[in-house]
Amino acid sequence: MVGLQELRTPALLVDRPRLLANLRDMAARADALGVALRPHVKTHKSPAIAALQRDGGAVGLTVATVTEAECFAAHGHRDLLITTPPVGGWRLDRVVALARQGRIRVSVDDADVVASLEQACRRSGVEVGFLWELDCGAGRFGSVPGRASAELIARVADGVRHCSFDGLLTFPGHAYAATGLGGIVAAAEDEREAIVRTADELEARGVEVRVRSVGSTPTAHVMSSGEGITEMRPGNYAFYDATQTALGVVAPDRCALSVLATVVSRPSRDRLILDSGSKALAAERLSTLTPGYGMVVAHPELRVERLYEEQAVVCSDRECSIPIGARVRVVPNHACAAVNLHSELMVLEEEEIVERWAVEARGWGHGHEAAGRDRLAAATG
Amino acid sequence: MVGLQELRTPALLVDRPRLLANLRDMAARADALGVALRPHVKTHKSPAIAALQRDGGAVGLTVATVTEAECFAAHGHRDLLITTPPVGGWRLDRVVALARQGRIRVSVDDADVVASLEQACRRSGVEVGFLWELDCGAGRFGSVPGRASAELIARVADGVRHCSFDGLLTFPGHAYAATGLGGIVAAAEDEREAIVRTADELEARGVEVRVRSVGSTPTAHVMSSGEGITEMRPGNYAFYDATQTALGVVAPDRCALSVLATVVSRPSRDRLILDSGSKALAAERLSTLTPGYGMVVAHPELRVERLYEEQAVVCSDRECSIPIGARVRVVPNHACAAVNLHSELMVLEEEEIVERWAVEARGWGHGHEAAGRDRLAAATG
């Protein structure tokens, strides 16, 4: 065991009791709603945490990219949903290779992409399922919910023999633009409505919609029932962060992830400089409600005003006595982005580091190499 | 050689002819100004590029962290300036170990930090130089330029026997808040004035100020003379980026770094989705002048409006015919942050990838491990 004072900084800490409580509570919430939990592992990119989620009842995992899928498949996960459409020959090749090992579903929003998936499945003799993505308001992927989409999906579903239409998917990304819980409740209603309306149109055309998948940590928190949907894909809930706190989704004491930083300069009485910059915390502001670039634990008087690459400029509302050399913990604005900057999570229990977990799928999204270890070897050779 | 169509995306490309021209032009600029060039390698974190800078006449390298210093020292660089103060026993130990191999200078802004450096040098018998940092307007590290700082520095310089006061350093980070070249010119004047005024006060007290070090790519471009300073530390100029372009520092055709991305969805006629999100481009906006999250090469009608972790939402001013599967290149807002997200640079020449360069110091800033290879092995074991 290593004490917090012995760690080099910046270091990424995960409070294990909080993490376990977060995982348990979301699993219980999915149970209570009567929907399956398929957590999005882009948040932690860590096989150690995915194993906890599986043991806690997750039906499978959601991943953002083919290369994340490969990482978790290598750790024995056999039911994966990939939320980037399989565009490009290399992606199709790898999706097909993954499908030889277990169930792979991909999300799509285009008939030609389904046609190329159908060809790849026909050639290889393996089956890949697809979920059609609807845009419930995020303005990213997806077709407009309702009749026109249902007509298109029905034609697409009818035209495939080697891949299969398994259902509908949507992502309420606009929940992060909410200025309070009311906006999140509205986004949750948008996602349900997008799925139900389109599913009804499809079933009226004789097309079965087995999977009805919705997403996001904020909306998972406010959903009042699971009616009309079958699974949810929250990711951030493993850790939560300053954005979830600012949105009112959880209280600050639920945040399980923080960056341990050292005060390296005290240029004035109301300012201190930490060694945790944008390359440790990520300079992201997902919500206009976050007052800065993170929350300093146990110091509500401090604001993380600016991030340079290796420094945070922290200002205080009053004269501040924290000396050079002191250590503080900063909860990042966006946990998923912060984790991606670190190669390991230091597992914290009662102020001691009891274990280290690899952020093994970090960087896999770029997918230059076929295998992760080879990739890392090549990158340092 | 590999064609651009064969690469998996997102991939980080560096246009070698542009890179070489950028390196050459800044070296010539330093020559013309009569100041030494000590490039900041946090921008590229790549020994291959540092070697080009050394061959082009750089007197040494600037690094942000002890761990970056270790990476470049392992590649034979023997004159390094570390711009994070050596706070914490582990940093002092490693600074001293580095100083056994070559010249190490650190920047400091506090008398107690110098006292601990003095003790470490006395115990180990190696000498480390320090530069005192002045705050010329960035509001980060540094004491206020002028008489009070000079009095403090003179006392500190007089009190050390085992480490040495080598000079003054400042960083004009406020140049990035400029809304045009006028603001950058003013920041360049601030940095010179901070150094000269304090150096004059020190020399009046009999303290020699051998090194007078200033920084930043924007101010390096507008400096009218090298009078009163001895070295400059620009970093970003190796690549430039959408921020430098928006500030008016360079024309877009000087940008050497881009992210190759694939169109993975066309949800509407004026919107396309790329597979290059915040985990490939970095969701940073350093300047209020940048219109979005990057510049799409050869497509001025496109705006990168939002970044999700693995997707960019790109909007067009007019109906847009770029199909799913097409590839585009995006120049990031902040090259230094984007490079830190990738493990290798694909070296581009005449539309072919001719070489791959490791971003070897990537992640070293976190410094959990003593050696980079061990660190990567541990992170994936």
Distance from CA of B251 to the nearest CA of A (A): 24
Residue A235 makes CB contacts below 8 A (sequence gap 6+) with: A39, A40, A41, A42, A43, A62, A215, A217, A336
Q: Residue A369 above 80 pLDDT?
A: no
Q: Residue A375 above 90 pLDDT?
A: no
Residue A158 makes CB contacts below 8 A (sequence gap 6+) with: A207
Q: Residue B372 above 50 pLDDT?
A: no
Structure-block tokens of residue A103: 């169930």
**Please, what is the Cα angle at B163 between B160 and B168, to 5 degrees?**
90
Concatenate the DSSP letters of all residues of B280-338 into one string: HH------TT--SS-EETT-TTEEEEEE-SS-EEEEESS---PPTT-EEEEE-S-HHHH
In this structure, CATH architecture of domain B16-238:
Alpha-Beta Barrel (3.20)
Q: Residue A376 above 60 pLDDT?
A: no
Tell me: the pLDDT tens digits for B130-161? Answer: 999 999 999 999 999 999 999 999 999 999 99
Please report, for residues B17, B21, B201, B213, the alpha-carbon distance to residue B234 in angstroms, rounded to integers and kept in the order given.
Answer: 19, 15, 26, 11
Residue of chain B nearest A278, judged by CA positions: B337
Q: For residue A221, which of A189, A253, A245, A185 has the smallest C-alpha distance? A: A185
- Looking at residue B364, its pLDDT comes to 67
Spatial separation of the C-alpha atoms in residues B102 and B73, rounded to whole Å: 8
Q: Residue A374 above 90 pLDDT?
A: no
Structure-block tokens of residue B30: 């330093």
Residue A240, Ramachandran bin (φ over 0: left; ψ between -120 and 50: alpha; else beta): left
Work out the average pLDDT over A316-334.
Answer: 96
Q: Is A78 on the interface with B (CB under 8 A)?
A: no
- Looking at residue A2, its pLDDT comes to 84
CB A54 within 8 A of CB A77: yes
* CB count in 10 Å sphere of residue A352: 12
Tell me: the pLDDT tens digits for A164-215? Answer: 999 999 999 999 999 999 999 999 999 999 999 999 999 999 999 999 999 9
Distance from CA of A325 to the nearest CA of B (A): 6
Q: For chain B, what is the mean pLDDT?
A: 94
Work out the average pLDDT over A11-38.
Answer: 98
Please report, for residues A69, A84, A100, A374, the alpha-carbon distance to residue A96 in angstroms, rounded to integers and kept in the order given.
Answer: 12, 15, 7, 21
Q: Topology of B2-10+250-358 in CATH? A: Lyase, Ornithine Decarboxylase; Chain A, domain 1 (2.40.37)
Say whether domain A16-239 belongs to CATH 3.20.20.10. Answer: yes
Spatial separation of the C-alpha atoms in residues A71 and A222, rounded to whole Å: 32
Q: Is A284 on the interface with B (CB under 8 A)?
A: yes
- Looking at residue B5, its pLDDT comes to 87
Q: For residue A217, which of A243, A193, A256, A253 has the smallest C-alpha distance? A: A243
Residue B177 makes CB contacts below 8 A (sequence gap 6+) with: B183, B287
Mutate to test the interface with A, among B136, B341, B373 (most CBs of A within 10 A): B341
Start-to-end CA distance of chain B, whole Å, equals: 32
**What ranges make up the beta strands (E) of chain A?**
2-3, 11-15, 36-37, 61-63, 79-82, 103-108, 128-134, 163-170, 211-215, 231-233, 257-268, 271-274, 295-296, 302-307, 312-316, 327-331, 344-349, 352-358
Spatial separation of the C-alpha atoms in residues A377 and A76, rounded to whole Å: 23
B109 vs A contacts (CB less than 8 Å): 265, 267
Residue A377 makes CB contacts below 8 A (sequence gap 6+) with: none
Residue of chain A nearest B46, judged by CA positions: A380
A314 vs B contacts (CB less than 8 Å): none
Give the DSSP H or E segment for B158.
Answer: helix B147-159
The residue written with tokens 């992210």 in the block is B259
Q: Residue B379 above 50 pLDDT?
A: no
DSSP class of A144: P
Tell me: the pLDDT tens digits for B319-367? Answer: 999 999 999 999 999 999 999 999 999 999 999 999 999 999 987 654 4
CB B149 within 8 A of CB B195: no
CB B282 within 8 A of CB A334: no
CB B72 within 8 A of CB B61: yes
Residues of A (347-366) whose Cβ lies below 8 Å from B: 356, 358-360, 362-363, 365-366
- Looking at residue A3, its pLDDT comes to 86
ipTM greater than 0.90: yes
Provide Rg for chain A, Cα atoms: 22
Tell me: the pLDDT tens digits for B88-120? Answer: 999 999 999 999 999 999 999 999 999 999 999
Q: Is the peptide bond before B85 cis (omega within 30 degrees of 0)?
A: no
What is the tally of helices (H) and strands (E) in chain B? 12, 18
For chain B, domain boundaries: 2-10+250-358, 16-238
Q: Residue B373 above 70 pLDDT?
A: no
B87 vs A contacts (CB less than 8 Å): 262-265, 275, 324-325
Tell me: the pLDDT tens digits for B245-304? Answer: 999 999 999 999 999 999 999 999 999 999 999 999 999 998 999 989 999 999 999 999
Global confidence as pTM: 0.95
Work out the average pLDDT over A138-155.
Answer: 98
Q: Is A330 on the interface with B (CB under 8 A)?
A: no
A265 vs B contacts (CB less than 8 Å): 85, 87, 109-110, 140-142
- Residue A347's SS3 state is strand
> What are the two backbone dihedrals, phi and then psi, of residue A207, each rounded to the nearest 5 degrees?
-100, 120
The residue written with tokens 């914290």 in the block is A348
Spatial separation of the C-alpha atoms in residues A341 and A277, rounded to whole Å: 11
Structure-block tokens of residue A71: 């990482």
**Exposure string (b/e) for B175-206, b if CB count within 10 Å is 16 or more?**
bbbbeeeebbbbbbbbbbbbbbbbbebbeeee
Q: Which long-range contacts (CB under 8 A, 24 or more apart) does B371-378 make?
A: B371/B70, B372/A380, B372/B67, B372/B70, B372/B71, B372/B74, B373/A380, B375/A343, B376/A343, B376/A376, B376/A379, B376/A380, B378/A344, B378/A356, B378/A358
* pLDDT band, residue A139 (cuts 50/70/90): very high
Q: For residue A212, which of A138, A160, A155, A153 has the smallest C-alpha distance? A: A153
- Looking at residue B374, its pLDDT comes to 43
Q: Residue A308 above 80 pLDDT?
A: yes
- Looking at residue A5, its pLDDT comes to 87
CB B225 within 8 A of CB B193: no
Q: Is A124 on the interface with B (CB under 8 A)?
A: no
Q: Is B74 on the interface with A (CB under 8 A)?
A: no
Q: Is B269 on the interface with A (CB under 8 A)?
A: no
Tell me: the pLDDT tens digits for B279-295? Answer: 999 999 989 999 899 99
Q: Residue B329 pairs with which residues in a beta bridge? A: B260
Q: What percentage of chain A has pLDDT greater than the value 90?
A: 91
Q: Residue A24 above 90 pLDDT?
A: yes
Q: For residue B38, which of B286, B212, B173 has the smallest C-alpha distance? A: B212
